[in-house]
Amino acid sequence: MDEIDLPRLLTFNCHEAWVHQLEYVGYKIDIIDGLPGRYCCQWDFGVRPRPRNSALINLDRIPEARPDYHCIIAHNLTDLLDSKVLKGPRILVIHSTLDGRIRQHGLGMEPDKLKAMVKKYLQWLGGHAVSVSSLKGRSWNLTEDIVEFGADVSRYPPWSGETAAGLRISNQIQNRREILHWEFHQAAFRDIPVKLVGFNPDMPGVLPSGNWEDLKGTLSSHRFYIHTAHPELEDGYNMATLEAMAAGLPIIGNRHPSSPIDHGVDGFLSDDAGELNQFARLLLANRELAGRMGEAARRKVAERFSLDKFAQKFRGSIERARRKWTQRKAPDAYFACRELAPEEKLGLLAKGGKFLRLATIFHDHMIRAEIDGALQALDEIMKVLNLPRNREIGSVAEFAQITVEVSEYLIKLEDSRSASLLLQALLGAFSPQPSFAC
C-alpha cells in the first residue's frame, strides 16, 4: 500500500511512550497537541520522539478540514469529551486501574457508578475499550480486549552494566507511594545505590532523562532495574520495566501475580525486604550474573512482548472499533453539536477527581508550611479552571484571597470536597504565620 493510501489515526499527546508504539501499526498518525489544562500541554520529546508517519496538529482545525479518520484513540475520559465533535470510530485505552486512580486522584462519584457510566457511554457512542493489562481491564469492568504494550529490543544498545547501581524510572512518586509499594522499595534498597529518573520536582536531584537516547544510555549502563507495585493497584511490570528488560537488565521487585519475571532466571522477586536487599547486593557484586539474567530478560521481551505482536493485536482492536461504530446509538447530529461548554467539561473533571488530587497536594504542602509547593498546586488548579494567573502575590492576605476565590469556583462546580481542603489548609496553616516570600 502506498503511503498516501495508508489509513489515518487520530490520538492525543499524553502517554507518549505508549503512543510511540503506534508507528509499528503502520498507519499515519495525527497527534492532537496544545490542549490547555493537561499535565503536559505539548508532546514531551524528553520521553519519546514523535512516531514515524505522525504529525502534531491543533484540535480546533480538525472540524474544518473534515479528515476521514480510520480510528480515534482516546486515553481518558477527557480525550473522549475533547473529541466529541469528531465523527468516526473510537477507542478508549485503559492505562491505569480505577482503584489506583482513586488512591492517587480521588473520585467525586461512586466507583461502580463511574464504571457503569463509562460502559454505557461507550456503547451509546459506538466506542471500543482496550485495556493495556488484564488487571486494569478488570478494574474498570472492561475486559473484552486486552492489548499488552511491548518493546523493540533492536532499538536498545548492548548492555554494559558498568555502573554498580540499581535504576528505577517513575514520575510523581510521592503522589503514588501506595501504588508503587514505595515503603517496601525504601526498606529493600535503603543502603543500596539506586538512581531514580523521572518527573519528581519534590525529590531533590531526581530528574527526567533529556531524551530517549539519554534514557537508553542510562539503562544500558546500570546493573539492574527495580519495579515494585501494589498487586491490587498496579501491574507487576510497566513500560519502563519492559524497556529495561529490552536493554538487558535483570529486574528486582516484589512478588506479583502479573510479573513477567521468573525468579532466579531473569531477575529476583521477594516480599521480604531483607531478602531482596541481599539479591541486589549479589547483582552489584557479580556483573557476570547480572549480564546472564539480563540477557534472559531481553530474550523474554523479544518473544513475549514484541511490538510486532502489539501491532497485530491493536490492528485487530481498530477493526473491532470500526464494527462497533456501525452499531452506534448516538445520532449523527450528536457529533455535529457544539463542543461541551467550559462549565460542563469542568464539572465532569471535578467528578473525576481532577481537582481533589491537586487540592490534596495543596493541603499537604500548607500543613508543612511549604508555600512554594502549595503555590504550584494552586497554580495548576487555576490553569485547569482557566482563571487569571498573572496576579502578583506578595502577602499572606493576597494569597488567602486567591485561595478563597478558587474555592468559590470549585463550589460552583459542586466540588465541595476540593474546596473544603483548600479552605481547611488555609485556615490551619497560618497560625502562627510562616514567613512568606514569592
pLDDT at residue 382, rounded to an integer = 84
Q: If you average pLDDT over every residue of the chain, what do you get?
A: 88
Q: Using DSSP bridges, classify how beta strands 194-197 and 222-226 pair: parallel, antiparallel or unpaired.
A: unpaired
Instruction: For residue 351, name the pLDDT band (cuts at 50, 70, 90).
Output: low
pLDDT at residue 297, rounded to an integer = 98
d(CA 197, CA 128): 34
What is the tally of helices (H) and strands (E) in the chain?
18, 11
pLDDT at residue 107, rounded to an integer = 67
The letter for the amino acid at 29 is I
d(CA 261, CA 245): 10
Angle made by CA atoms 425, 431, 433, in degrees to the nearest 5? 100
Q: Residue 71's beta-bridge partner residues?
A: 9
User: What is the value of pTM for the model shown?
Assistant: 0.77
pLDDT at residue 424, rounded to an integer = 83
pLDDT at residue 341, rounded to an integer = 58
What dotted CATH number matches 3-150+309-339?
3.40.50
pLDDT at residue 344, rounded to an integer = 62
pLDDT at residue 433, rounded to an integer = 42
For the chain, the helix, strand and coil percentages under 3-state DSSP, each to the nearest 5? 50, 10, 40
Mean pLDDT score, 190-208: 92
> What three-state secondary structure class fits 20?
helix
d(CA 115, CA 122): 11
pLDDT at residue 387, rounded to an integer = 80
pLDDT at residue 349, rounded to an integer = 67
Give me the percent of the chain exceeding a pLDDT of 70: 88
Does the pLDDT value for residue 9 go beyond 70? yes
The letter for the amino acid at 150 is G
Which of 252, 234, 247, 265 minimizes the C-alpha distance to 301?
247
Does the pLDDT value for residue 394 go beyond 80? no
Neighbours of 31 (CB within 10 A): 21
d(CA 77, CA 93): 10
Per domain, the residue ranges of the chain are: 3-150+309-339, 153-304, 345-429
- 135 is written with which cell numbers? 488487571
> What three-state secondary structure class fits 192?
coil
Q: What is the DSSP letter of 117?
A: H
Residue 17, CA atoms < 13 Å, CB-side half-sphere: 19
Transcribe 29-62 into DSSP letters.
Answer: EEEE---SSSS-SS--TTT-PPPTTEEEE-GGGH
The yes-or-no answer to whether 3-150+309-339 and 153-304 have a common fold is yes
Does the pLDDT value for residue 263 go beyond 80? yes
pLDDT at residue 432, rounded to an integer = 45
**pLDDT digit string (tens) for 20-68?**
999 999 999 999 987 765 656 688 888 899 999 999 998 877 766 677 8
Q: Could you confirm whether domain 153-304 is CATH 3.40.50.2000?
A: yes
Q: Are 26 and 311 in contact (CB under 8 A)?
A: yes
